């Protein structure tokens, strides 16, 4: 692979020695598989020293943060970015600003107060040295006025405010595509320096979650120098698109996690039934699983992963002396967060696996953590106007089909936090409706199912040469029908599994022999569990509107034309988009 950029250094020998020192510290930092926090300050300082030896880093990063009515999440994200800069010093500062880091806030909010808050955050962090631009609705509309809306409607949406005059909640895919146009203009002003675009979500942070030993809980730490290692990869290789992943909360919908979570909740209650409420909490020991990725996904086999063979144990997050009853109460109060995307029993942690700048072939884009050269702007988020879930994996299949080995992944995961700590809920989550404690997921569930239909249809089509070779519409239609039929069987089998687990959980919770049913002090804990069961039943039970919709012929008649039209029209959309990028 060829180098795409060069760094000038003050003293090459001193730089080489400093790099060797960093490698040595890094190996000791993760020597036994867990973080040695005592070495972290030295590790961070070693990178700051390296920056002093380099006259200029190779690449400037523009971080694109898509956000919709999430000011608290956005503040945490930007705060972690500033900490990343201060901790590792990538690029150094010039005139009070970080020389090679800039931020674009792509705002898809509807709430005026959120838009104002996001704008104020941009101004605040700019004063702190992070050049941050708030790309709000008015500026988006101004940019779109110069864009042929009709030709790009499947990419950019309607391109106009709705009937109420709002230009928010267009969906993350449409918002990211509009932001790509802004990045095109920004890239034209940065022609004198190698540039990388770094797409992240507002509910992510530039940290990693690590598991500690001896039951000391999890920690969120600034232990990965994201910019340094990304700079190394894009300097040393000809990679065009790179994807990272996430640690912490799963990057998927509750629609595809209910079965696994119910299994874990059942196991937790069984453990509680074998204890006494005043016993010291025994849920702090580290538990290691070898199942690999996608342990949170009910249908992990769809993605080539082996399903977990057993339930996962809950790892208590309470500190200080406390009893089993305290742990049970805390766990019960966290159950509602599942509907906003948490999976308390299957939180993922960063696992060091050697040099973070090592790469391997990729097939899935994590839209909340991927990096690309300016040429990668040609890869818009596909089928954006349909608002499907799984848009990142779908994009990944298309990118892989076109650039092959230049699409890579690296072990550079960002910390993912679905909910706000103070409420246990997301500030805003599309497709999740909550009213008086009742949760309705049917919209998200439908978008998940049909997003899967689109993803695995594209997977089959790209294997046959799409999009460089476009099959006849009849072939595409047949592919959609076949994939839908396969996924219906998968989803319906999972539904049967969920129903069985719901029955087991109800019986376990209600058993009068268990201590929580014989002590009035546990009433609130039991009630929290009952609310959780009621919401699972509402969405995934016998009369589930979610499964009814994906099995209804009339529902498929509504979705099928849009899916078919989007795939048939993709080559034309792609050509129009690429023409717009050079307009």
DSSP secondary structure letter of residue 217: -
Q: What is the pTM of this model?
A: 0.94
Q: What CA–CA distance (Å, rounded) separates 528 from 210?
A: 29
Q: What CA–CA distance (Å, rounded) separates 144 from 131?
A: 24
Pairs from 492-499 (Cβ < 8 Å, separation ≥ 24): 492/547, 492/551, 494/259, 494/298, 494/299, 495/540, 495/544, 495/547, 497/259, 497/298, 498/258, 498/259, 498/262, 498/536, 498/540, 499/540, 499/541, 499/542
Paired sense of beta strands 438-440 and 433-435, if any: antiparallel
pLDDT by residue for the chain (583 residues), tens digit each?
Answer: 333 444 555 678 898 999 999 999 999 999 988 899 999 999 999 999 999 988 656 899 999 999 999 999 999 999 999 999 999 999 999 999 999 999 999 999 999 999 999 999 999 999 999 999 999 999 999 999 989 878 899 999 998 998 888 999 999 999 999 999 999 999 988 877 899 999 999 999 999 999 876 556 688 999 999 999 999 999 999 999 999 999 999 888 999 999 999 999 999 999 999 999 999 999 987 555 544 457 888 888 888 777 766 789 998 989 899 999 999 999 999 999 999 999 989 988 899 988 899 999 999 999 999 999 999 999 999 999 999 999 999 999 999 999 999 999 999 999 999 988 777 787 888 878 888 789 999 999 999 999 999 999 999 999 999 999 989 999 999 999 999 999 999 999 999 999 999 999 999 999 999 999 999 999 999 999 999 999 999 999 999 999 999 999 999 999 999 999 999 999 999 999 999 998 7
**Most distant CA pair in the chain, distance:** 75
Q: What CA–CA distance (Å, rounded) separates 336 from 301?
A: 27
Backbone angles phi, psi at 190, to 5 degrees: -120, 30
Nearest alpha carbon to residue 61 among 236, 248, 200, 170: 200
């Amino acid at each position: 692979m060829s180098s795409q950029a060069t760094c000038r250094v003050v003293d090459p020998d001193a730089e080489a020695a400093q790099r060797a020192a960093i490698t040595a510290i890094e190996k000791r930092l993760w020597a036994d598989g867990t973080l040695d926090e005592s070495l972290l300050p030295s590790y961070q300082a070693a990178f700051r020293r390296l920056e002093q030896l380099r006259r200029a880093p190779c690449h400037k990063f523009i971080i694109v943060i898509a956000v919709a009515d999430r000011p608290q999440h956005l503040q945490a994200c930007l705060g972690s970015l500033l900490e990343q800069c201060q901790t590792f010093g990538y690029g150094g500062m010039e005139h009070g600003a970080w020389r090679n880091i800039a931020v674009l806030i792509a705002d898809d909010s509807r709430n005026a107060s959120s838009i104002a808050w996001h704008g104020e955050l941009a101004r605040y962090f700019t004063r702190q040295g992070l050049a941050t631009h708030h790309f709000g609705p008015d500026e988006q509309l101004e940019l779109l006025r110069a864009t042929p809306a009709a030709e790009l409607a499947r990419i950019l949406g309607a391109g106009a405010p709705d009937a109420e005059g709002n230009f928010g909640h267009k969906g993350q895919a449409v918002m990211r595509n509009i932001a790509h146009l802004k990045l095109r203009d920004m890239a034209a002003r940065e022609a004198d320096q190698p540039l990388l675009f770094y797409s992240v979500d507002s509910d992510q942070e530039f940290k990693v979650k690590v598991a500690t030993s001896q039951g000391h809980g999890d920690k969120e730490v600034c232990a990965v120098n994201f910019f340094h290692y990304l700079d190394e990869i894009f300097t040393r290789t000809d990679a065009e698109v790179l994807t990272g992943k996430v640690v912490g909360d799963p990057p998927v919908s509750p629609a595809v996690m209910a079965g696994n979570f119910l299994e874990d909740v059942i196991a937790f209650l069984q453990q509680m039934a074998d204890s006494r409420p005043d016993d010291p909490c025994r849920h702090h020991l580290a538990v290691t699983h070898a199942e690999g990725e996608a342990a949170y996904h009910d249908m992990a086999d769809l993605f080539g992963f082996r399903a977990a063979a057993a339930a996962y144990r809950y790892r208590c997050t309470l500190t200080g002396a406390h009893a089993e009853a305290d742990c049970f109460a805390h766990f019960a109060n966290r159950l509602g967060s599942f509907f906003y995307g948490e999976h308390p029993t299957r939180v993922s942690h960063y696992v060091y696996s050697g040099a973070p700048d090592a790469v391997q072939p990729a097939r899935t884009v994590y839209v909340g953590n991927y990096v690309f050269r300016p040429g990668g702007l040609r890869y818009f988020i596909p089928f954006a106007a349909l608002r499907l879930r799984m848009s990142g994996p779908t994009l990944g299949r298309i990118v892989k089909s076109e650039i092959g080995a230049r699409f890579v992944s690296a072990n550079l995961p960002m910390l993912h936090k679905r909910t706000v700590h103070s409420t246990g809920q997301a500030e805003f989550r599309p497709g999740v409706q909550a009213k008086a404690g009742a949760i309705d997921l049917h919209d998200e569930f439908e978008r998940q199912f049909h997003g899967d239909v689109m993803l695995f249809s594209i997977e089959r089509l790209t294997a046959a040469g799409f999009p460089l070779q476009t099959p006849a519409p009849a072939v595409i239609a047949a592919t959609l029908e076949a994939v839908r039929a396969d996924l219906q069987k998968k989803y319906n089998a999972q539904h049967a599994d969920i129903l069985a687990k719901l029955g087991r959980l109800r019986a376990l919770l209600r058993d009068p022999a268990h201590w929580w049913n014989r002590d009035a002090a546990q009433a609130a804990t039991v009630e929290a569990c009952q609310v959780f069961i009621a919401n699972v039943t509402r969405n995934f039970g016998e009369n589930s509107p979610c499964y009814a919709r994906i099995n209804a012929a009339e529902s498929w008649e509504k979705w099928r034309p849009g899916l078919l039209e989007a795939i048939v029209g993709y080559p034309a959309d792609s050509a129009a988009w690429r023409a717009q990028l050079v307009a």
